[in-house]
Structures are given as C-alpha cells and as structure tokens.
C-alpha cells in the first residue's frame, strides 16, 4: 500500500492543535532535573547577603525570551536571598529585556511591594555601545568610567548600590540571559575569573555548552525552557518554563513521529514503485 | 580629487588605523600607566563612534528609503511604512523616555510580539521540512537523522525521561565532535583575522586603506 505524501498544511494543523491543547489545558508532564541546574541554584544560594550580581550581555529580545524563564526565577531567588543586581546591557534591546525580567519577577518594592528597592538593591544601566568585549573589559576595570548614568538618566554616583560597585573585585557573579554568552566567557570568566551563568536559549545551549567543559567551575548554562522550568521548580514557582513545557514535549514528540512517518511513507512508495 | 590629495587621504586613514590598533594592543602587553591611559582613551572613543553610527544609520535609512519612495521602487510601500513607524516612535520615545513603562508596554506589545510570532512560525516550517527531508536513503542521511533525533531528545524532557541514554549521547556529541569542530572553526577564523589585520596594517589588502587601490 502506497501512503500518500502529507501536505504541509496538514502537518501545520496537527502541530497547531498539539500546541494549543496544552496551552489551554496544562497537563503537567514530568521533566527530569539536570545536575547543572542544582549547581547553579546552590551557587546563588551560597552567596553572602549583599553580594553584587551583574546581569549583563547582549541579544535580541525575542530570542532571549526563552532565557527569561530561568532568569526570572533567579531574580526571585536573589531578591529572597538579599543579593543585589546591576545590569550591563551591550546590545540595543538588552536594557528593555533587563527591565522586562525584573518587572516580570515582581520584586520591586514601589511597584509590587517586593523586597527590592531601586538604587539600593538593583540598578538598571543603559545600553553601552562599543562592542561586547570592549565594554565588558572597560566595565570590569572601572564601572564608573564606563557608564555615568542609569536608565532614567540619574547619575550613578547618586545611587547607593553603585557606590559599592567600582570594578570586578566587587562582583560576585555574572549572569548572562542572552545569546552573546561567548563574549562574557572570554572576558568575564577567562580574563577576570568571575563565575558566569547563562540561562540560555536552547540553540545557544547547543552551541556554547561545551564551554562548561572548557571552564569547569567557572561557566554554567541552563538549557532553554527545560532549564528554566527546572530552575522554577527549585525556586518554587510555576512560571513561563512550566507553561511551555507541555507544548515543548508535544512538539518534540510530534517532530520525531513525523520523521518516522516520512520514512514509512518513503518505504511504502518504494514498494509501490517496484510493483 | 588630485592624486596628491587622494594619497594624503589614504595615508591619514591608514595612520589612524595603525595608531589605534597598536594603541589598543599595547594596552594588553604593557603595564605602563601611560599606555593604559592611551588604551582606555581609545576605548572611550570607540564607544562614542559606535553611538554615532546609530545616528548615521538613521540618516542612511531615511535617505535610501526616501529615495525609494520618491522613485516608487519595488517594496516602496514597506519603506514608507518603516519611515512612518520611525517618525512615530522617535517622538514617542523622546516624550516618554525609551525606558518608561508606557514605552516598554508599547514596545513589548508590537515589535517584540511580532518578532516572537515570526520565530514561532519556524517550528511549523521546520516540522514539515523534517518530514520530507529526513528520509533514510543512505548511510549519510541515516547518520544525519539519528543525530537530529538525539538532539531533539535532549530538548524534549518527556522523551528523555523514557530514553535517558539519548541525553548522554547528546551531551557526548556536544562536548566532543561539536566542540572540536567549533574550536577548529574559531581557530581558523582567529588566525585568518590576524593575517587579515596584518595585511590591512601593511596596506596589502584592497579597500579604503590601500593607497594605490581604486584610484
């Protein structure tokens, strides 16, 4: 029997249905935990209260949204632990992304009644042009010489948090929720020895995860929405990672099934040709 | 332009590039405060020039798209649409501030949402493409299909819980063949970049810095 070739429209329709079903009725499929996710959680958990963490890097907002699942959970954990956060955006859309994840974590005292006060516990810095590695190097050498105002145009010398941040000695951890993690590894981890974590999108993870082997104990990555969902589970929230996990599982399974079906179709048609 | 002026212009360009390159490189190899000061100053200039290029980009878009609209070139309606959006968004950003909550909401609701939608469409095209192309007709396609399926398993937690070995295979592939291939590419690119840099500094490369080229 010769199986017919499926039209693309039918495949798209099936995909759409299997995307929408879990979005409307979440099933809560289980997912395994990766050891790296535990390690990252414990690194942040072990930082002393008041430590300064930098969220820095560059990427395109739409791509980086996948990183936001893990990043938002990390921000919640940092706020709960009493850590402090400063941003270092080096691509034009990064400041908006940083503002988005901090807003989405709902940790601001004035806006959401959270534990973080702007200027004291976290500072949003503006886009710093000049190229990733150049800016990182300059930022780590002398923060105040690299940037002089925050997002709102307030001189950073007037912000209490920035008076404790002068150079790389004051930074306990660097988190990069962006595609451009390699520049961070080359400068922040390799040159200045600061531990770097990236809640990465899954494509970036596939490209850059070998750096974890190259810099053991210095570079850590979470794998896309899967890693985000794992981190959310550790922090005790159900955010974007959990929401997309069912769709993710269905889509991945369907892709494998369609590959198998394509091969069965090919075999059936080969048989038909011989007849 | 006379030949003399052309030579002077080209030499000034080359001298600027040589001085800046050596100034930055010296900052890496010498600990002298003077050398460090020069290097830091050049970094600052680099940031200023990079900021200015954004402004130049805006002027270039207006110039090119404006010409396209006047001449009714192909796709001129899209160019018009782009310019209208820029004209609306710039005063909006100036008035409210580009990091204001209102601007952020508008930005997320339009540009980012549309961009995410475009990216989301890829999964549909990818699935139908995989259905047609990943057909095992030879050893090569078998290997390709196997590797693709293993990587899908890595990102599919539900499948991986049933086939945990697939995750181990995927990590091995990433950490060994993928890393060695990627490193080879980076090394080749790095060595190529050094050679290109030397050729540019010595004036052997065609382009703006070649004194006798393109005149």
- What whole-number distance in Å separates Cα of residue B56 and Cα of residue A249? 46
The whole-angstrom distance between A253's CA and the closest CA on chain B is: 7
User: What part of B 174-203 touches A (C-beta under 8 Å)?
Assistant: 174-175, 178-179, 182
Taking the C-alpha atoms of residue A151 and residue A176, their distance in angstroms, rounded to an integer, is 19
Percent of chain A past pLDDT 70, that is, above it, reads: 98
Q: For A65-123, what is each residue's pLDDT tens digit?
A: 999 999 999 999 999 999 999 999 999 889 999 999 999 999 999 889 889 999 999 99
Task: Name the E strands within chain B.
Answer: none
Q: Do A198 and A85 sit in the same domain of this protein?
A: yes
Q: What pLDDT is recorded for position B214?
A: 46
Range of the domain at A6: 1-30+245-275
pLDDT of residue B200: 77
Torsion angle, CA of B52/A163/A79/A215, rounded to 10 degrees? 70
Closest chain B C-alpha to A78 CA, distance in angstroms:
23
Give the model confidence (pLDDT) of A149-206 as tens digits: 998 889 999 999 999 999 999 999 999 999 989 999 999 999 999 999 999 988 888 8
The residues, any chain, with a CB within 8 Å of residue B79's CB and separated by 6 or more, are B64, B65, B68, B69, B73
Question: Which residues, in sequence order, are CB contacts of B102 under 8 Å at separation 6+?
Answer: B96
Contact A68, A100 (CB under 8 A): yes
Residue A152's contacts (CB-CB under 8 Å, 6 or more residues apart) are B97, B99
Shared-domain flag, residues A228 and A249: no
- Residues A223 and A250 both lie in one domain: no
Please give the DSSP secondary-structure letter assigned to residue B180: H
Q: Quick one: pLDDT at residue B1? A: 61
Q: Which residues of A touch B50 (CB under 8 A)?
A: 129-131
How many structural domains are present in chain A? Answer: 2
Do residues A118 and A222 share a domain?
yes
d(CA A87, CA A100): 12
The values of phi and psi at residue A87, to 5°, are -95, 155
Low-confidence ranges of chain B (pLDDT < 50): 213-215
pLDDT in tens, A119-144: 999 999 998 887 888 899 989 999 99
Q: What is the pLDDT, as a whole number, of residue A69?
A: 92
Percent of chain A with pLDDT over 90: 60
Residues of B in contact with A252 (CB under 8 A): 152-153, 155-156, 158-159
A233 touches chain B (CB under 8 A): no
Q: Residue A233's closest CA among A53, A80, A37?
A: A37
The pTM assigned to this predicted structure is: 0.79
Paired sense of beta strands A196-200 and A171-175, if any: parallel
Q: Are residues A25 and A142 in the same domain?
A: no
- CATH code at position A182: 3.40.50
Is A156 found in the same domain as A60?
yes
Same domain, residue pair A18 and A148: no
ipTM computed for the complex = 0.78
What does the pLDDT read at residue B94?
Answer: 83
Q: In chain A, whose CA is at the least distance from the CA of B160? A: A32
């Amino acid at each position: 029997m010769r199986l017919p070739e499926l039209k693309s429209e039918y495949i798209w329709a099936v995909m759409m249905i299997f995307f929408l079903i879990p979005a409307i009725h979440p099933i809560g499929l289980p997912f395994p935990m990766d050891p790296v996710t535990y390690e990252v959680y414990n690194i942040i958990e072990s930082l002393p209260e008041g430590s300064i963490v930098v969220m820095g890097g560059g990427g395109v907002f739409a791509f980086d949204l996948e990183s936001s699942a893990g990043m938002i959970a990390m921000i919640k954990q940092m706020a709960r632990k009493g850590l402090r956060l400063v941003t270092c955006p080096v691509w034009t859309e990064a400041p908006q992304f940083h503002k988005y994840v901090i807003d989405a974590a709902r940790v601001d005292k004035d806006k959401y009644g959270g534990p973080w006060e702007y200027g004291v516990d976290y500072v949003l810095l503006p886009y710093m042009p000049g190229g990733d590695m150049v800016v990182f190097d300059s930022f780590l050498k002398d923060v105040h010489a690299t940037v002089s105002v925050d997002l709102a145009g307030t001189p950073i010398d007037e912000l209490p948090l920035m008076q404790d941040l002068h150079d790389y000695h004051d930074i306990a951890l660097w988190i990069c929720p962006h595609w451009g993690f390699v520049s961070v590894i080359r400068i922040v981890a390799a040159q200045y020895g600061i531990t770097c974590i990236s809640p990465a999108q899954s494509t970036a993870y596939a490209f850059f995860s070998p750096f974890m082997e190259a810099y053991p104990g210095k570079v850590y990555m979470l794998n896309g929405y899967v890693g985000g969902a794992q981190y959310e589970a550790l922090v005790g929230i159900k955010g974007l990672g959990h929401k997309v996990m069912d769709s993710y599982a269905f889509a991945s399974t369907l892709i494998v099934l369609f590959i198998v079906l394509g091969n069965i179709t090919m075999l059936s048609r080969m048989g038909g040709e011989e007849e | 332009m006379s030949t003399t002026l052309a030579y002077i212009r080209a030499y000034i360009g080359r001298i600027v590039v040589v001085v800046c390159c050596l100034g930055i490189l010296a900052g890496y190899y010498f600990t002298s405060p003077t050398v460090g000061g020069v290097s830091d100053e050049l970094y600052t200039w680099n940031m200023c020039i990079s900021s200015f290029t954004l402004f130049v980009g805006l002027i270039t878009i207006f110039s090119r798209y404006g010409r396209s609209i006047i001449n009714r070139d192909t796709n001129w309606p899209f160019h018009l649409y782009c310019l209208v959006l820029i004209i609306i968004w710039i005063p909006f950003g100036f008035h409210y501030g580009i990091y204001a909550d209102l601007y952020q909401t508008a930005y997320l609701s339009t540009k980012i949402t549309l961009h995410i939608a475009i990216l989301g469409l890829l999964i549909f095209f990818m699935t139908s493409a995989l259905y047609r192309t990943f057909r095992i007709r030879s050893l090569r396609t078998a290997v390709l299909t196997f590797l693709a399926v293993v990587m899908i398993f890595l990102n599919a937690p539900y499948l991986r819980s049933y086939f945990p070995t697939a995750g181990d295979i995927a990590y091995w592939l990433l950490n060994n063949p993928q890393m060695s291939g990627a490193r080879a590419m980076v090394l080749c690119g790095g060595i190529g970049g050094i050679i290109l840099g030397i050729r540019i500094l010595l004036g052997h490369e065609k382009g703006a810095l070649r004194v006798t080229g393109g005149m």
